Chains A and B, each alone.
Chain A
């Protein structure tokens, strides 16, 4: 599937200009608002796997949860097949619940410790009347088999299973209601190296077999490259670069993307620290590039205007006034 082919299809989910603030206690003063999503737009097409990449605190999990309705955005729309679901909650959301599922980072705490796997898997089946009551045990067994586990695992309690097994069951739970979108939030980062591949392969297979779309949230670019069709790089509440996976890797435009890629290869980048930002005087942070403080390529306008995401023909966009020249020759290992 090529990026061009994808762009033709109508988006399954289209987030438009999302803004979301959290109220947090800051380090050195009274409480203030933290803008977790700052005017974010993102399309996910049917069958597509979109990677959300960025450091912790960049807003990637918030974006995923906002799309699922776990956070309510302060402004903006979330269109599901054209219907705005951003403002819906409670009963209004319920019809869309089944369509969108989530896989969490910590497999163990994804399951109610008081219930067996069978019971946890049966609940969504029953809730959404996926199959008749008497067919539930068989359906549960089939689901387990589908994710490479044995039916007898159904009788176990969560703490009796390993992280990899539980994560596969979490995927089984997600796909059991035949959703059209799964948000996977750092779904492999807590897993041991040796089982990480099992879960990644499974997600990939599910995507191929069911056509379910995935929003795959990760800080690991290598994992994103394996799984995702497109990658959106986030930095402090904004998407700074988005494009087809191969493009991003071959042709990063945004300096931040570039430093992320560098880091994978053992380069240390320049030593920038958390405290840097205070060294700069930015009059209005909302009207400046939020990466300006750490950017080696900073230009004066970076401090006074906000760069836009402009897509090129390949569907690649970077929010930067001074983007890196294309095809810098950086090899992709």
Chain B
């Protein structure tokens, strides 16, 4: 009885997460067509205007429509986070699979590098990379990638080591399937689910990293909007225009909520046997 309730609840939550993520994704993709305003053109007659029918989420300190800024800012934040995490997923998974498959020295090198990257506090690594590479959108993506590479490498290596001993992979080897085909066809699809979970979580955390850096002023540079930059600006004017920080913060939370629930959903539908082993 209880179990059923929990299952239904979990399903509903995952569904809800998918719904929110779709909504956020729609906003991110269709942002430019959803709003009549420009994200960067200032309107000095409407500085820090409270929410109104014309500006549902009010205006910021440049008189720009906050909703429009959020829609465009989310594009930037998502683009940075998604590209960073996808790059990490590609590089990390390739390195991890290589480590699992080749073993030996290669595995030792990959794992030590991962240990190293993994031992930096995540935001410290991001901050450090900003000093090394300079501020800017692309460099944030690099920092996010560096934070996530060890996660993907470790995950894919450990999973691949588990899957490698599965009879169907042994069968593929014995049947003479080439290594690349074994990795791509036999192993990758069967470790994909946790990788997808990690991508969803990574995108969520990447947004936090981007926002944090932009918040400090080391991330996306004005007038380009990003969720962190909008919040940083909103924080300056919080006492006078609390809606900028609050509503943008809520938008960030909504996006993260969606991604987190979605990753839960992916986790739930993934092979429970595999999950038990992890």
Contacts and interface: CB of A to CB of B under 8 A. Distances in A.
A172 interface: no
B92 to A, nearest CB: 21
B189 A114 contact: yes
Interface stretch (B27-35, B36-44, B172-180, B243-251): B172-180
A70 B173 contact: yes
Contacts of B185: 112, 123
A252 B174 CA distance: 35
B170 interface: yes
A113 interface: yes
Contacts of A102: 170-171, 174
Contacts, number: 57
A7 B176 CA distance: 31
Contacts of B174: 68-70, 97, 100-102
A127 B166 contact: no
B167 interface: yes
B168 A109 contact: yes
Interface residues of A, number: 28
Contact of B168 (A98, A101, A112): A112
A254 B97 CA distance: 47
A173 B171 contact: yes
A177 interface: yes
Interface SS of chain B: helix, strand, loop or mixed?
Answer: helix
A106 interface: yes
A265 interface: no
Given A70-B170, A104-B170, A128 B189 contact: no
Nearest to A99: B176
A110 B167 CA distance: 5
B175 A101 contact: yes
Contact of A97 (B176, B179, B271): B176
A111 interface: yes
A211 interface: no
A114 B190 contact: yes
A113 B190 contact: yes
B276 to A, nearest CB: 14
22 contacts: A68-B174, A90-B179, A97-B175, A98-B175, A102-B170, A102-B171, A104-B167, A104-B171, A105-B167, A109-B168, A110-B167, A110-B168, A110-B171, A112-B172, A112-B185, A113-B271, A114-B189, A120-B168, A123-B185, A124-B176, A127-B175, A127-B176
Interface of B: 166-168, 170-177, 179, 185-186, 189-190, 271
